[in-house]
Amino acid sequence: MIAFAAIALSFFLGVFEPAMAKSLPATGLATAADDQKSLELLMASQRMDKRAMLKSALELTPPQSDRFWPIYYEYQAQLIPLYDKKFALIEQYAAAYPLLTERQADHLVRESLAAKKAQIELLEKYYRRVAAVLSKNIAARFVQMESAWNGAFDVKLLSKLPLMPETATRQPR
């Protein structure tokens, strides 16, 4: 299932490179270690792109940069497990699709909403930290850029997933 997530993320994010395609076996069946490595490389690339975008958008002075980036790296370290959770949910969805039960559908939605809520709470926490160390305007720009990046990421990812099947297998609650 990691292969599904790695390849799907590559296409959804528009960063599927020929070099990455060559790293996948011709059969399309990679080992779990290869799949995990491909996913980790993809996510590392996305984080570098995101940092470059933030650097350009925030236009921080050197002293401001010295205060901002350590906070941002803490934020990013706490954000990664939330995206890991999202990817795990996608893998669960892919493993069960199209024969999801009502229970599975409910679980996936509840966990997805919990992950989204945790991501918003984390952003709020780091808005307050950046505002306290730099300014509310810089913190607001950080939130704007972070929200735009994460929103675009989610739209690209989720727009390619098939909708929940209309007729899921019913199970007692």
Instruction: State the Cα–Cα distance between residues 92 and 146, nearest whole angstrom.
Output: 27
Q: Is residue 120 part of a domain?
A: yes
CA 119/CA 76 separation, integer angstroms: 11
Q: How many domains does the chain have?
A: 1
Structural domain contains residue 142 = yes
Q: Residue 171: inside a domain, yes or no? A: no
Task: Residue 12: give the domain boundaries.
Answer: 2-159
Q: Is 118 domain-assigned?
A: yes
Mean pLDDT, residues 29-42 taken together: 59
Residue with the bigger pLDDT between 150 and 128: it is: 128
* 172, part of any domain: no
For residue 170, being part of any structural domain is answered with no
Q: What is the pTM of this model?
A: 0.71
Answer yes or no: is 169 within a domain: no
pLDDT at 144: 96
Average of per-residue pLDDT across 103-110:
93
